[in-house]
Structure 1
Amino acid sequence: MYSLRFRIARWVLAHQKISWLFFALVTAFFIAGLPKVQLRTIFSDLLPSDDPFVQTFKDHPNFGNPLTVAVMIKRKDGDIYNPETIAKVWKFTRDIDLTPGVDHDLILSVTTGKARYTEATPYGIDMRPLMGDIAPSTPEEVALFKERVYKSPNTKVFLISGDDTATLITATFIEHSVEYGEVFDFVQKLAADARDEHHEVYVTGQPILIGWVYQYTTQMLLIFAVTVGALLLALILYMRNAVGILTPIITSAVAAIWAFGLVGWLDVSIEPLLMVVPLLLTARSFSHSVQFTERYYEVYAHVKDRAKAAEITMGVMMAPSILGIITDIIGIAVVAAAPIPAMWRHALFCGMWAVWLIPTGVFLISLLLAALPTPDNVEKLIGHGEVSGVHRRFQALLTGIARLTYGSRARYTAAVVILFSAAATWTSLQIKIGNPVEGTNLLWEDSDFNGAVRAINRHFPGVNTLELVFESKTPEAEEWNVTRAETVMSMLKLQNIMEKGEDPPRATLSFNDYLRESNRLFQGGSPKWLELDNRDRAINAAAIGVMMGSSAKNYGHVIDDTMQHGTVSLWYKDNKQETVDAALAAARKAVAEVGQEHEFFRIRLATGIIALQEAVNRVVDRFHWVMIGLLNVSIFLLCSYAYRSFVAGLILLVPVNLSNQVMIASMHLMGVGLDVNSLIVAAIGVGVGIDYGIYLLSRICEEYHAQGEDWGQAITAALRTTGKAIMFTATIMTVGVLPWYFMSGLKFLADMGLLLVVIMSINMVMALLVLPLLVWYVKPKFVGRKDLLVGEGVDLSLLTDQQSPA
């Protein structure tokens, strides 16, 4: 295997024209795919395909559809019962009906035909819209409208606030037709036009949230450019030669082009929120390049020939580089184990990006090293002669760190590491799965979106529903299942149980509520007749009263248009995970009491925002440890094989798992919940975190022989060489990533940027401190072997005749 590496390296450098042509053609192919790249969110692909809640949502998309925009228009100096405010609501309702992708049957406000009042007349029950064909414009018409509102109890709960100062407009969108950027721009313009000195307008809903993410796409690209600029500046200050500056930039850029070009050709969309992961992959590419280039400097100092030094460096670094990249790939690939299509697509995108680091980070970089001008400061870079500036500081710091990892001081270092690790592990166990805030943790607390959520929650039952679906077992039958007495009485019982429970919802609604009001009016208007008679005949009579002169589409939020299926809607104050847990626990208990299976219908748990959030969180809870377990097993087996020792696998896994605990603890302290987005970053962080350990352990193996089998000297030499490259790459990536925290309008990206800083920093510390400490205490036998797959050693004194090792 050792000679094979050098034979491959010799062939590549001996056939540079063919190699360059290969890279040029492949890069051109992927460049052609770049115009087809799509940064786009597909909402249903964010949901786990195998979850029963998601199946309920797909079977009954009308009930609690999260792709609903909620708009609250609030009067600042009085109530809404004035011609100006009503006209504004009227216009907004009709304008939002023009939004691309809107479901015209699922728009609701006090100005639509779905908002109805009921009254008894000498000719029977009269159920009519609150407004006619035009908005009330005179004091008398407004007074009549207000009178009608008070004859519509549900309107006073769900469409007009208790203090009469605000009203709600909702519009649901069709997923396969909606373009979130267009919806965002269209609705936000309507809101801006509606705002004035007397009115405030608040806009929320999943389409608007996704729209906000789209709005920050340009900002993301700007911050990415700032990051690249910071990395470039750090490289210039550190390397001070063309080789060290250009190789990381070119190899990283080519890998990125190949990754984006591939998804362009495959017509696979990329989730915008997860664009922080490519930043992590760019960091890995820089890290591999710097490690490779630093080793090239050492070889060049002996052979004094660019091409020969590049050939030798490729042969020496090929195995540890590929092993490190494979661990990156594994860290990404396990993400695809979760049954969420968006995660699979992102695993494909980022996984192939990591795969492309092999040809670019091993072969292309070698061609670049052979072609670029000879560096004139090699002696300083490798620590020979007079060392000054940042290199001297790095060398001094690393020498000090090395002294902490062996000899008598090692016991104190070990004690500190154990205490720190115990504290980090305990803190990491406190992290919460799911959303930790009211609104969304993707945006800052003071964002317009979160402000709108809080405002609507103050005036209405809220925007977070849990839907318990009453599904007909015989949908092909002619009878109206939702008007059968057993169905209606079960709805009523379920609502009563939920309203009287320990964690009651803010409000409940079902078709039963409309039937009760109709029944009251049929019986003369007394409130005592709100109670329905438990007979099909009586229920049908109430239903006829409700439906007279109307259409089932006017009640599409509680029944389907065939009247075969219905829902009990439950509103909750927020979507924090503790609220979600309590709501679902109460719902399961209530459904068990009512009975889930009946002769003509079944009750399905559940759909709505609460249920769908829980569906995603269950995947996080279920697959978090599965992913970490798969990563550990895969990396353990791979590294054990490469080093010919199970002990090596364990030594490498200890620091990377400690890093993972610190990372999760940091997320908890930052107030970041473990959700589907942060899970991806966490899983990939484990895979990429082991790279530093592989490079350093391989160098310790080499230095152990070079330093006369002296453990302390081997550790010190490894830290002063490979450790310097590790410290530099971690430092420059920290500098480069920090702008994400201070510049991002998306809190999630800011948090993930800060988390990447933690990942880089803690992986560096664990590699430079904990791994040498473990080597010192274990003194593994595999270090003394000379047949390791990842052995970096090569006797440079044998290369003075310019012959490659056999």
Structure 2
Amino acid sequence: MIERIAEFCIRRRSWVVGSLAALTLVLSWFALHIEVRTVFEDMLPSRHEYVKTHEKFKDTFGGSNMVTIMFEVPDGEIFQPAVLEKVRTVTLGLREVSAVNPYQITSLASKKLKEVRASTAGIETRPLMWPELPANADELATLRESVLRNPLVYGPFVSKDLQATLITVDFIDREVDYAKVFSEIRALVAKVDDDSVKIRVVGDPILYGWVNHYVPETINLVAAALGLTLVMLFVLLRTWRGVLLPLLAGVVSAIWALGICRLLGIHFEPLVIVVAMLITSRAVSHSVQIVNRFDDELALVPPGEGVARHAARVALADLFRPGMLGVIADAACMAVVALSPIPMLQKLTVLSVVWVSTLTISAVILTPVLLSYIRRPHGTVHPIDLAPPLRRILDFGVWMATSRFRYAVIGCSTIVVTVSGLYALNLKIGDANPGSPILWPESTYNRDSAAINARFQGVDRMFIVLGEDGKEGLVKSNDVLLAMNRFQRFIEAQPEVGGTVSIADVLPVVNSTLREGNPRYLELGDTQQVNGSLMGILDSVSEPGDIDRFADNQYANGAVTMMFRDRQGETIRTAVARVKEFIAQNPLPEGQWQLAGGLIGVMAAVNEVILSSQIEAVALALLVLVVICTVVYRSTVAGMLFMVPVIISNTLTFSFMAWKGIGMNINTVPVAALGIGLGVDYAFYIADRIKEEIAAGSTPEHAIHQALHSAGMGVIVTASVLIFSTLLWWGSSLRFQAEMGLLMAIWLGVSAMSALFVMPSVIYVFRPAFIFGHREAPVLGRLRPAIQPV
């Protein structure tokens, strides 16, 4: 069948090229119109308990797209007209930002922060600094005293040293456009930024805005990596076909993938450009293998008419099986990610599977068809020949596989896998370091985040809901208020939780105010009647929206909001475990606890999904790989054999991730899944060439020699080119891209080393039957002189 496919493609080459060119032209229009954006809701596992709670209450208690802006003075206090004017200007300006929730803007200059006062005339609440700024020194002093008296402001919104103040603002998740919000907030801040006050801005809209901000730099890195790839291919292969055809294969596969995904309505996530580069590298790899095999065939026959067509047909026929097997393995291993309930990963899986599948056209078929058109295939374009030193490396691989040293290779590989596998158990789920792992620690965003966390209770938030729908006034009950109070004291014992806030913090302020500010009464009432009265007084003097941060309109549900100083996976898991521990030990007589909303609640859900599914996903990807190899080679031994390079490359890579503190999160999971398929591609070419030579009557030693000097040369060329080009990503301003580029280089390097030095030794020692057990007669049209070992 493979021979017939190869014969048809070469015989009907004009029809094949014309059809592919027409389809590529059509799909290119759609590819150019694909959307490049980040959709927050796609990152949420919608069926998870925490996400359901978040979606239900985010408009009341605050969503996960909250932005925090800190104004910090280098000397003195913030109670200066110029500083407060800046705070007011930004607070009012935030109302005009796209997708903003106007009821979730909180600062000294908003109506949200109020002071409760009692007098003979009654009880009143008055905004601290709204609608006008303090007009003179006396009013500034009054504002300062009001802040110091209010525990809901002094600490949470004004720093303890009075040198900084916060503005918090939330956005509507389904409408937020990170790039637009990022640019609008930066423009608003720029209007008041005159270097007299340090202004710091953090939050997920800002974080992903920075990702979009660096898209031009990312495009430049892609261009640089592409340029280096072409230069190295030109130097190593010494022909224009060795440069242009792999480039064409990568471009065609990208056009087809992006065009098809545009037709399916799938957008392109900026962070997944690393996955795109990884898949494109496979296109280059497959194409180079075919070009290299084409050159090998030319070396066996003298120049003449039809030589290029014959060599192209042989290259297509001989590499069709390993090429297709590599494509199918990559696609199948990536498809496993679709089992995750996270929409972003599901959409990315579709994009990746489509992209990988296009390699069957762009590399496996189109490359040999175009090679058949070459008129003078025996020439080279420059005199630099690096083949001799590369052949010495391959000779070393042959010696390692066929000498007694082969047992040492297998033994050392076993030790390395065991040690790295054990160390890989230290791999963390979720973010492994403070700040965002997407950006470098010295980035503006992470420095701003660290500065805010140092002065305030924490940037990132999680809320826990107490109550029950339909039970109006339940939050006013003594049981719920006391449970909130106990829970806050319990959870604040965790160092990473900088503070908490709830309606149980507001009532003591009212209680103290009723008694002329006596601090002895800065606590909840002794009885339910007292607390109910305090709640009623607070409700009577509040305006619509004042209580939204603490309870819903019917007081059926209330929230305890926790502020976190970092978003590391271990911090989140510890907090969730402590929350569940408290709930188990403190059941409510009425109502229930509901976990967990806010950014940290959503991240907890994502981390739990990854933690529960990652081991299964890796195991399933390995099983899929075994099944594919078993079916293709009709041998269960083949499935087990090809697990060797996969296990080596993945245990070493995962242990490196654990060593460097790279966590397994929503961004790294797709790279890890694709890495399973990546780890075996090179081994397919080596093993299949050995099988082919054995079938043609070669000795095992000669078969390994031929395989390494043919397919092995392609492995060295593609691996070295792709390793150096991916290492260019280390210069990215996005830490995630830099680290993923380094991981790709490690995967490629280990996979190549395993294919060149470990797999031949394993094959030579164990002599699997699917390679050595059957001697087939050479197929007509594929007879060629044997190359004697050098």
- Calculate the TM-score normalised by the size of structure 1: 0.93
8 Å Cα contact 2:491-2:575 kept in structure 1: no
Q: 2-side partners of 1:53 and 1:566: how far apart?
A: 16
Q: Report SS of the residue matched to 1:176.
A: coil
8 Å Cα contact 2:432-2:662 kept in structure 1: yes
1:526 to 518, 528, 551: 518
Matched, 1:692 2:682: yes
Matched, 1:759 2:747: yes
Q: How does 1:447-526 map to 2 (within 5 A)?
A: 447-474=443-470, 479-499=472-492, 501=493, 505-526=497-518
Deviation at 1:529, TM superposition (A): 2.6
Matched, 1:12 2:9: yes
Q: Point out the more displaced range, 775-784 or 66-75.
A: 775-784
Q: 1:426 to 1:798 in 2, by over 3 A?
A: closer
Aligned to 2:534: 542
Q: Report SS of the residue matched to 1:153.
A: coil
Deviation at 1:242, TM superposition (A): 2.5
Q: 1:467 to 1:335 in 2, by over 3 A?
A: same
Q: 2-side partners of 1:679 and 1:456: how far apart?
A: 30
Deviation at 1:759, TM superposition (A): 0.7
8 Å Cα contact 2:697-2:775 kept in structure 1: no
1:329 to 328, 331, 349: 331
Q: 1:627 to 1:165 in 2, by over 3 A?
A: same
Aligned to 2:757: 769
Deviation at 1:707, TM superposition (A): 6.1
Deviation at 1:493, TM superposition (A): 2.6
Q: How does 1:338-377 map to 2 (within 5 A)?
A: 338-377=340-379
Amino acid at match of 2:431: N
Amino acid at match of 2:386: V
Q: 2-side partners of 1:65 and 1:146: how far apart?
A: 30
Q: Report SS of the residue matched to 1:467.
A: strand
Aligned to 1:578: 570
Amino acid at match of 1:46: M
8 Å Cα contact 1:503-1:582 kept in structure 2: no
Q: 1-side partners of 2:765 and 2:703: how far apart?
A: 14
Q: 1-side partners of 2:554 and 2:97: how far apart?
A: 27
Q: 1-side partners of 2:518 and 2:454: how far apart?
A: 31
Aligned to 1:713: 702
Can you give the 5+ residue segments of structure 2 that lack an aligned partner in the other structure? 786-790
Q: Report SS of the residue matched to 1:150.
A: helix
Matched, 1:213 2:211: yes
Q: 1-side partners of 2:559 and 2:248: how far apart?
A: 57
Q: 1-side partners of 2:615 and 2:573: how far apart?
A: 20
Deviation at 1:104, TM superposition (A): 0.6
1:397 to 393, 397, 401: 393
1:305-330 CA-partner distances (Å, limit 9, x unpaired): 22232223222222221111100111
Q: 1-side partners of 2:766 and 2:111: how far apart?
A: 77
Aligned to 1:628: 618
Q: Report SS of the residue matched to 1:135.
A: coil
Q: 2-side partners of 1:732 and 1:21: how far apart?
A: 30
Aligned to 1:276: 274
Amino acid at match of 2:460: N
Aligned to 1:384: none
Aligned to 2:788: none
Aligned to 1:196: 194
2:93 to 80, 92, 95: 95
Amino acid at match of 1:153: P
Deviation at 1:594, TM superposition (A): 2.3
Q: 2-side partners of 1:325 and 1:704: how far apart?
A: 25
Deviation at 1:625, TM superposition (A): 1.3
Amino acid at match of 2:585: E
Q: Report SS of the residue matched to 1:172.
A: strand
Deviation at 1:504, TM superposition (A): 7.6
8 Å Cα contact 1:645-1:782 kept in structure 2: yes
Q: Report SS of the residue matched to 1:155.
A: coil
Can you give the 5+ residue segments of structure 1 that lack an aligned partner in the other structure? 382-386, 801-806
Matched, 1:186 2:184: yes
Amino acid at match of 1:145: L
Q: Report SS of the residue matched to 2:436.
A: coil
Deviation at 1:722, TM superposition (A): 0.7
Q: 1:392 to 1:518 in 2, by over 3 A?
A: same
Q: How does 1:42-61 map to 2 (within 5 A)?
A: 42-61=39-58
Q: Point out the more displaced range, 558-567 or 276-285.
A: 558-567
Q: 2-side partners of 1:245 and 1:504: how far apart?
A: 53
Amino acid at match of 2:475: V
Q: 2-side partners of 1:673 and 1:766: how far apart?
A: 25
Deviation at 1:449, TM superposition (A): 0.5
Q: Report SS of the residue matched to 1:569.
A: strand
Q: 2-side partners of 1:198 and 1:755: how far apart?
A: 43
Q: 1:741 to 1:35 in 2, by over 3 A?
A: same
Q: 2-side partners of 1:63 and 1:778: how far apart?
A: 64
Deviation at 1:503, TM superposition (A): 5.2
1:442 to 438, 441, 445: 438
8 Å Cα contact 1:72-1:203 kept in structure 2: yes
Q: 2-side partners of 1:729 and 1:176: how far apart?
A: 43
Q: 2-side partners of 1:504 and 1:650: how far apart?
A: 46
1:188-228 CA-partner distances (Å, limit 9, x unpaired): 22223333342101100011001011111111111001111
Q: 2-side partners of 1:373 and 1:746: how far apart?
A: 46
1:135-187 CA-partner distances (Å, limit 9, x unpaired): 11321221121122123221002110000000000110112221111111111
Q: How does 1:674-689 map to 2 (within 5 A)?
A: 674-689=664-679
Q: 2-side partners of 1:75 and 1:798: how far apart?
A: 82
Amino acid at match of 1:337: L
Q: Point out the more displaced range, 131-140 or 198-207.
A: 131-140
Aligned to 2:714: 725
Q: 1-side partners of 2:251 and 2:775: how far apart?
A: 35
Q: 1:436 to 1:610 in 2, by over 3 A?
A: same
Q: 1:759 to 1:540 in 2, by over 3 A?
A: same
Deviation at 1:302, TM superposition (A): 4.3
1:382-403 CA-partner distances (Å, limit 9, x unpaired): xxxxx97311111111101221
Q: 1-side partners of 2:783 and 2:644: how far apart?
A: 37
Q: Report SS of the residue matched to 1:170.
A: strand
Aligned to 1:229: 227
Residue identity over aligned pairs, in percent, reads 29
Q: Point out the more displaced range, 719-728 or 419-428.
A: 419-428
Q: Report SS of the residue matched to 1:154.
A: coil
Aligned to 1:430: 426
Q: 1:402 to 1:787 in 2, by over 3 A?
A: closer
1:329-376 CA-partner distances (Å, limit 9, x unpaired): 112111111111000111111110111111222221222112234322
Q: 2-side partners of 1:374 and 1:507: how far apart?
A: 75
Matched, 1:734 2:727: no
Amino acid at match of 1:480: G
Q: How many residues align?
A: 780
Deviation at 1:275, TM superposition (A): 0.9
Amino acid at match of 1:438: P
Aligned to 2:111: 113
8 Å Cα contact 1:299-1:796 kept in structure 2: no
Q: 1-side partners of 2:261 and 2:244: how far apart?
A: 26
1:38 to 35, 40, 52: 35
